[in-house]
Amino acid sequence: MRKYLVAGMVLILIIGALIVPKILKGSDKQISFKAVDMEDLPKEIQEALPKYIMEERALTAKFKDDIFVIVTRGEKKSRGYMVEIDSITKEDYGEDKYDIVVHALFTDPDPNEIVTQEYDYPIVVVKTELELMPQAVHLDIEYVD
């Protein structure tokens, strides 16, 4: 009987050690954000965007006290390509030092769908709650149908 009690306690401790850190980390790791229309962006950021829209990447921009996250898909030869930010997570590694990971959803046009044959530059911009610029921005892409 005592062996079962000890085994049960060990099992509870192991499960607790695996679950509790995830619960504690999960609440402060997510960064909230709000989508921003291109025409609502500060002019300084709008003017800087053409340098970056040719590449598939994620980057940040700061204007006054606001920090924006931008995801671009690069140049596409037809319409129908989409980009959306699913979530942004924060990876702390020191006092006031952190990276962010932008989890983006990419959608490509259906191969059987007729789309306009003109160059397009899919882009999404969000305004975050961040107060300090991250050290680095990492892009995590998931393709959806």
**Kind of pairing, strands 66-73 and 56-63?**
antiparallel
pLDDT at 100: 96
First to last CA, the chain: 54
Query: Which amino acid makes up residue 18?
Result: L
pLDDT higher than 70, residue 24: no
pTM tops 0.95: no
Tokens matching residue 131: 């107060």
Mean pLDDT of 73-88: 95
Q: How many helices (H) and strands (E) in the chain?
A: 2, 7
pLDDT at 21: 56
The dihedral of CA 62, 107, 139, 54: what is its sign? negative
Question: Taking all residues of the chain, what is their mean pLDDT, rounded to a whole number?
Answer: 88
